[in-house]
Amino acid sequence: MTRTPTVLFVCVHNAGRSQMAAGFLSHLAGDTVEVRSAGSAPADSINSAAVEAMAELGIDISAQSPKILTPDAVETSDVVITMGCGDACPVFPGVSYRDWALPDPAGKGVEAVRPIRDRIKVLVEDLIAELVPVQTGSSL
């Protein structure tokens, strides 16, 4: 049996981009991937436009809350995906790092968040294809 890969999404506030990415990965990959998210300077609450944009696609992230980025969360993840947090993310050997250059949805309305959401969905689908081996008879 292969081990479940762990993915950590990191952005500054852990209120928009990383929460949408985590929502997509949880929704699309189910229990084939362990999903985490965190922020280098977490906001007090999730971006309401991000919640609304995800709800339009039937994914509810409203119960999530921004979490602080810890060295342990990074070290115990297989893949760390940063989204504009710069050098705030600690680097550990054996962890795969990726940077997704995405605009920050903070302070923007849902119309401006939709294209960011749609780009995140494509990136997450590509990530799933890379991390989750296709199995015969799989309906993923």
Mean pLDDT of 35-40: 94
Of the candidates 90, 99, 49, 46, the residue with the CA atom closest to the CA atom of residue 72: 90
pLDDT-based confidence at 92, cuts 50/70/90? confident
Active-site amino acid positions: 11, 85, 89
Check residue 136 and give its pLDDT.
Answer: 46
What is the amino acid identity at position 25? L
pLDDT in tens, 50-59: 999 999 999 9
pLDDT at 133: 73
- Which residues does 74 contact at the CB level (< 8 Å), separation at least 6? 8, 10, 80, 89, 90, 91, 92, 95
Quick one: pLDDT at residue 88?
A: 60
Taking the model in full, what pTM does it have? 0.90
